[in-house]
Structure 1
Amino acid sequence: MFRQLPRLPHLVLALGLAAAALAGTPPADAARIKEIASVQGVRSNQLVGYGLVVGLDGTGDQTTQAPFTAQSLQAMLQQMGVSVPPGTNMQLRNVAAVTVTAQLPPFAQPGQTIDVTVASMGNAKSLRGGTLVATPLRGADGQIYALAQGNLVVGGAGASAGGSKVQINHLSAGRVPAGATVERAVPTAFGQGEFLQLDLASADYHTARQVARAINAAKGAGAAEALDGRVVRVRMPAEDRVGFLADIENLRVELAPPAARVVVNARTGSVVMNQAVTLGACAVAHGNLSVTISSTPVVSQPAPLSQGQTVVGEKADIQLRQEGGALVQLAAGAKLTDVVKALNSLGATPQDLLAILQAIKAAGALNAELEVI
C-alpha cells in the first residue's frame, strides 16, 4: 500500500550537508571581534631619534646652510676621542642629519628587532647608499627603548648634470629593515586585574551588545558586559588568559548596517557615500552663469589736413551666457545606485556636487549625514 522512496537517504544526506554548509558559512555582514575591537592597553608606541647618515656620494647636507650637521658630527667625534680644532670649517658632503622614527609593537622584548624609517632634516639631495650611525630612539617619556643602526634602503634613483635633473621616486627618505634593536620593554596591564576592556573601532550600541552576547554565548553568562556604545568589559580567568583571549577574538559578530553618510573632500572634489544613503523625492535646477568681457583696440585716424591726432581706444564686448539650468526631478531612491544615477543625471562635476548635496540636505531630501573634509 505504501510506495518506497528509493532515494530518500540521499535526499536526507544532501539536506544535512546543505544545512551544515549554511551553519558554517558566516553571514555577509559578520566580522570577527579582532577586526572591530582592540584590547585596551595593547598598542604600539611611537619612537623618535636624531642621528647621522654617512657614506653618501657627495649628496649630503651643505654645512653652510645646515650648520647643525657639522655640530652633530663634532659632538660624535668628541665622544670617540677625536678633537676638532676650534674654528675649523668642515665642508661635509657625505654626511646628512636625519630623523629616525619607528613603531614599537606591543609585547616587544629586549633583543628583538624592528624596522625604522629615516628622513632627511637638512638639504641633502639623496640618502641612497648611506649608513645610519648608532641612534638611540626615545619614547614620549624620554626614555631610550631602542637603538638603530644599519644601511638604508632607498627606493629611488636620480641623476643631474648641466642643470638638468632626472629623479625617480623620493630620495630624501629611506628605510632600514630590522634596523633597530629593542633595549627596553613597555610594561602592560594585560596580565593584571580581573577585567579586560575591549574598545570598539567605532561607537555603535548594537555592535557592543552583539559582542557581549557572542562572548557570553561562548564563555558563559556574565563573562562580558557592554558598558556603552564603544566599551565592552570582559571578566578574565585567573589562568590561561592568552587562550581565553584567543578564543573570544575569533568569535563572529553580526554587524548592524552602517549609518548613512556622505563624505565630500572639498580640496579634491571627491564624493564618497555608503550603501545606506537614500534620496528623497526632490527637484533640482543646476546651471552655470558666465560673464565674458573682451577688449579690442580701436585706432581713430583723423581726417586729412584736419591737424588732428591719431588716438588709440578700446572697444569692450560684454557677453552674458547662462548654461542650461532646467528643473530636473529626482525620484526617491532606496539604493546607492539610484542615488548615483539621480546625481549623474544633472551632469554636474564633482566640485558642483558639493553645493548640490548641501542644498539637498538643507531641503531635507538627503537621508544621510553630510561630512566635509
Structure 2
Amino acid sequence: MNSKVNRSLTMLLVTLLFSSAAMAERIKDITSVAGVRNNQLVGYGLVVGLDGTGDKASFTSQTFRNMLNNFGVAIPSSVDPKSKNIAAVAIHAELPPFSKPGQTIDLTVSSIGDSKSLRGGSLLLAPLKGADGQIYAMGQGNLIVSGFGVEGRDGSRLSLNVPSVGRIPNGATVERTVPNAFAQGDSLTLNLNHADFTTSRRVSEEINSLLGMNTASAIDATSIRVRAPRDASQRVSFISVLENLEITPAKEVAKVIINSRTGTIIIGQDVRVSPVAITHGGLTVAITENLDVNQPNALGAGDTVITPRTGIEVDAGSGHMFEFAPGTSLQEIIEAVNQVGAAPGDLMAILEALKQAGALKAELIVI
C-alpha cells in the first residue's frame, strides 16, 4: 500500500494504546470523600436590556407584571406588558462543598422562550434554589454571550455559536451553607472514582502501612472506610496526609471502544484474541496456533521449552490472509489489516465479528 493511502487511513482511524505499566497516582486523584460534593442550584429570572431580541412568551409578560407590582407599579389587567427587550431565562449553577455565605459562584443563563439572543442583557436579582426548595444563593449581573446572530428583513439569518446562552462569572452570592457529615462520626469514607476491587484493596493496605493495621478497611469495590479524628481541624490534617499517599491502581478491564460516527477506535493494550477466521467481503483474516518446541542437544543439559510464535503473512491474491499465533494483540491485527488498505468501517465490522465469535477477549463498547 502506498504512503498516500496509509496517511489517509491514519487520518480516519485513531488507535490509542494504554500503557501496560501502571503508574503510581495520589489517592486524591482517584478518590473523593463521601459527603464532600457539589450541589446543583436552579432558578428563574428575567434578562433585560436586550436589543429587540427578547421573547414573546406569555409567562415572560406575567413575570414582568409581577416584578413591577413588587415595586409598586400597577399595570391594568387589560394591558399586556410585552417588550422586545426582556427574556425569561433559566439559571443554573453548582455550589461547591464548604461554600460560605458571602462567597460567589458562576452562573449559566439560558433562554426558555423564543428569545433569539441574550447578548447585551443583564440578569435581574433572582433566587437560586436547591433540591430541597431552600434558597442558597442570589444571582444578578451582566451576561457574557459568546454567540452572535443577525437576521435580515427577508428572513435570512446568520448565527455563530449559541447566542441564547450566556455566563455570569461570580454572578451569584452564597446565602446559605449546605450541611454535610464531614466532621461527624469516628470514621470517613473514601469513594473510588472508578470501582475496582484490587484498587480498593491497595488503597486500604497503603493507609494501614502508614497508620497501622485496621485503620482502613475496604468495604466494596468503591468504598474504603478509614478511622479518623473527631476534631474537625485534626480531621483536615488527617485527610491532607491521606490524599497525598501514592498507590498503583489496578489495570483497567480490557476494552475496545468504537465511535461509528467518527471512525475512532480505542484499544486497550491488554486486549487479546483467540484463534478464529473471519471473511469480510474480499478480506479474510485468520488466526492460527503456532508453537515452537526448543529441545536441548543430546550432550547438553536443559529442559524442553515450548514458546508461542507470532507471524504475519499477507497474500495479495484474490483475498488477504493473516496468520497469528494465539494471544496475539489486537494492535497487530489492525496493523496487518491496514497494510492492505482496509477502511475503518471494515475494521469495525471485523472487531464486532470477533466479539460475536467469542474470540475477542475484551469488552466491546460502541458509542
TM-score of the superposition, structure 2-length normalised? 0.79
Whether 2:207 is the aligned partner of 1:199: answer: no
* 1:179 match: 171
Is the contact between residue 360 and residue 366 of structure 1 (CA under 8 Å) also seen in structure 2? yes
* Amino acid in structure 1 at the alignment position of 2:73: V
* Amino acid in structure 2 at the alignment position of 1:363: A
Whether 2:98 is the aligned partner of 1:107: answer: yes
Whether 2:183 is the aligned partner of 1:216: answer: no
* 2:218 match: 226
* 2:41 match: 47
Whether 2:137 is the aligned partner of 1:146: answer: yes
Secondary structure at the aligned position of 1:53 is classed as strand
Whether 2:152 is the aligned partner of 1:158: answer: no
Shift in Å, 1:217:
1.6
**CA 1:109–1:360: 2 relative to 1, 3 Å:** same
2:27 aligned residue (25, 28, 33): 33
**CA 1:345–1:367: 2 relative to 1, 3 Å:** farther
Is the contact between residue 278 and residue 339 of structure 1 (CA under 8 Å) also seen in structure 2? no
* Amino acid in structure 2 at the alignment position of 1:189: A
Looking at structure 2, the residues matched to 370 and 325 of structure 1 have their Cα atoms a distance apart, in angstroms, of 30
Secondary structure at the aligned position of 1:246 is classed as helix
Looking at structure 1, the residues matched to 353 and 39 of structure 2 have their Cα atoms a distance apart, in angstroms, of 44
Looking at structure 2, the residues matched to 260 and 184 of structure 1 have their Cα atoms a distance apart, in angstroms, of 46
Q: Relative contact order (alpha carbons < 8 A, sep ≥ 6): 1 or 2 greater?
A: 2
Shift in Å, 1:267:
4.8
Is the contact between residue 328 and residue 346 of structure 1 (CA under 8 Å) also seen in structure 2? no
Is the contact between residue 60 and residue 123 of structure 1 (CA under 8 Å) also seen in structure 2? yes
* 2:13 match: none
Residue segments in structure 1 that go unaligned for 5+ positions in a row? 1-26, 289-323
Is the contact between residue 22 and residue 250 of structure 2 (CA under 8 Å) also seen in structure 1? no
* 1:86 match: 77
After superposition, give the CA deviation of every residue in 1:288-317 in whole Å (9 maximum; x if it has no partner): 8xxxxxxxxxxxxxxxxxxxxxxxxxxxxx
* Amino acid in structure 1 at the alignment position of 2:59: F
Looking at structure 2, the residues matched to 347 and 141 of structure 1 have their Cα atoms a distance apart, in angstroms, of 59
Looking at structure 2, the residues matched to 138 and 283 of structure 1 have their Cα atoms a distance apart, in angstroms, of 60
* 1:355 match: 349
Shift in Å, 1:213:
1.2
Looking at structure 2, the residues matched to 118 and 259 of structure 1 have their Cα atoms a distance apart, in angstroms, of 40
TM-score of the superposition, structure 1-length normalised? 0.77
Is the contact between residue 280 and residue 331 of structure 1 (CA under 8 Å) also seen in structure 2? no
Looking at structure 1, the residues matched to 318 and 44 of structure 2 have their Cα atoms a distance apart, in angstroms, of 59
**CA 1:331–1:58: 2 relative to 1, 3 Å:** same
After superposition, give the CA deviation of every residue in 1:92-114 in whole Å (9 maximum; x if it has no partner): 11001111000000011111100
* Amino acid in structure 2 at the alignment position of 1:99: A
Secondary structure at the aligned position of 1:237 is classed as coil
After superposition, give the CA deviation of every residue in 1:247-296 in whole Å (9 maximum; x if it has no partner): 100110012221101122355543322222223343321128xxxxxxxx
Shift in Å, 1:180:
0.4
Shift in Å, 1:236:
0.2
**CA 1:228–1:160: 2 relative to 1, 3 Å:** same
Count, aligned residues: 309
Looking at structure 2, the residues matched to 260 and 267 of structure 1 have their Cα atoms a distance apart, in angstroms, of 22
Is the contact between residue 286 and residue 326 of structure 1 (CA under 8 Å) also seen in structure 2? no
Shift in Å, 1:330:
5.0
Which stretch of structure 1 is more off in the superposition, 342-351 or 259-268?
A: 342-351
Is the contact between residue 89 and residue 110 of structure 2 (CA under 8 Å) also seen in structure 1? yes
* Amino acid in structure 1 at the alignment position of 2:23: D
Shift in Å, 1:218:
1.8
Secondary structure at the aligned position of 2:321 is classed as strand
> Which structure would you say has the larger Rg?
1
* Amino acid in structure 2 at the alignment position of 1:329: F
**CA 1:132–1:343: 2 relative to 1, 3 Å:** farther
Is the contact between residue 283 and residue 328 of structure 1 (CA under 8 Å) also seen in structure 2? no
Once the two structures are aligned, what percentage of the paired residues are identical?
A: 51
Residue segments in structure 2 that go unaligned for 5+ positions in a row? 1-20, 283-316
Looking at structure 2, the residues matched to 261 and 162 of structure 1 have their Cα atoms a distance apart, in angstroms, of 54
Root-mean-square deviation over aligned CA pairs: 2.1
**CA 1:347–1:183: 2 relative to 1, 3 Å:** same
Looking at structure 2, the residues matched to 85 and 279 of structure 1 have their Cα atoms a distance apart, in angstroms, of 77
* 2:58 match: 67
Shift in Å, 1:117:
0.2
**CA 1:139–1:350: 2 relative to 1, 3 Å:** farther
Shift in Å, 1:214:
1.1
* 2:270 match: 276
* 1:135 match: 126
* Amino acid in structure 1 at the alignment position of 2:46: L
Shift in Å, 1:28:
5.3
Whether 2:180 is the aligned partner of 1:188: answer: yes
**CA 1:359–1:273: 2 relative to 1, 3 Å:** same
